[in-house]
Amino acid sequence: MNISALAMPGAAALLAAAACVPFVADGYWLSIAVTVLMYAALATSWSLFSGPTHYIALSTGAFFGIGGYLVGLGMSDYDQSFWAMAALAPVVATALAALIGWATLRLSGVYFVIFTLGLAEMVRNLVSWVQNNFLGSRGLYVLTDLDETHIYWMLLAVLAAVFAFGWWLGRSRLGFALRILGNDEAVARHVGINTARTKVLMFMTTGFVAALVGAIVAPRYYYIEPNVVFSPELSFVVVIMALLGGTRKLYGPLLGVLPFTLLWEVISVSFPNATTLVLGLAFLLIVYFLPNGVTGLFGKLLAGRSS
């Protein structure tokens, strides 16, 4: 997962261009741009962990929900500011990711997938139960002065930070350890890599980013219910976007986010009862026809031409 040094000026130019989007887009298209950035940050951070380790985590929705829900809880019931809760939520999610990681990352393959899916559902139902039985209301209000433009710029900053971290990770000892671990975990242990600590650290990173993104986009909901903010679909959408673009390149998930966001928007509005079917079909098509994503396909085509 590298970005060549020659590409850094290009990345800076793209970042500057992206920062100008709110000046040329508003209403519907600005809302789409916010959604694209939200998924881009989630899918890229997910690929930093799941790409090299091959651990398919379906826990993004749980951490995202923690971020959004804590912002709503703090503002509605405890008169806390948005900024205070947005700072606290990722810390709470990171601590939870550390506990979960140490307990579960000894699992692998389908067992890890099933556990993370069950974790997301357990968190959603637990929060709903606490909300209904102890907090006395069904939802929480998030009323701020932030509009879509502010949320867009905050998400862009998060995405830039995720890319900077990914660029550093590709050149660090931790990134090297992750690549060895993904190729053969037994070999990684034999050469002295603390595989448990390595996996937990990266799992904590994905939890932190997902909760931060959830906290930032909480004002878009205005009224938060556990069953909405802890959406199980979000975890699957993030995985599909990352796999569609490809997880072997840092920029890979971006190539999956934009087209799938537009497709998901059309399906959600025009055929809301078909979203689960679309997720299943998309996953099957990617696995059978694009196992390495769009970036893998491009690489294969370029290798074929050069030979």
Q: Between vectors from CA 225 to CA 123 and to CA 126, what angle results, nearest 5°?
A: 25
Nearest partner of 92 among 121, 127, 125, 116, judged by Cα: 127
Q: Is the pLDDT of residue 138 over 80?
A: no
Q: What is the pLDDT of residue 136?
A: 66
Q: Is the pLDDT of residue 307 over 60?
A: no
Three-state secondary-structure class, residue 137:
coil
Can you list the domains of the chain with their CATH numbers?
A: 5-306 (1.10.3470)
Nearest partner of 53 among 173, 195, 169, 166, judged by Cα: 195
Q: What is the pLDDT of residue 3?
A: 43
To the nearest whole percent, how much of the chain has pLDDT over 70?
93
Q: What is the pLDDT of residues 61-79, one digit of tens each?
A: 999 999 999 999 999 878 8
Over the range 155-174, which residues count as b (16 or more CB within 10 Å of their CB) and which as e? bbebbbebbebbbebbeeee
Contact 76, 135 (CB under 8 A): no
Q: Is the pLDDT of residue 97 over 50?
A: yes
Mean pLDDT of the chain: 87
Q: What is the pLDDT of residue 232?
A: 84
For the segment 152-159, the average pLDDT, to the nearest whole number, is 96
Rg (CA), the chain: 19
State residue 192 phi and psi, 5-degree precision: 95, 10
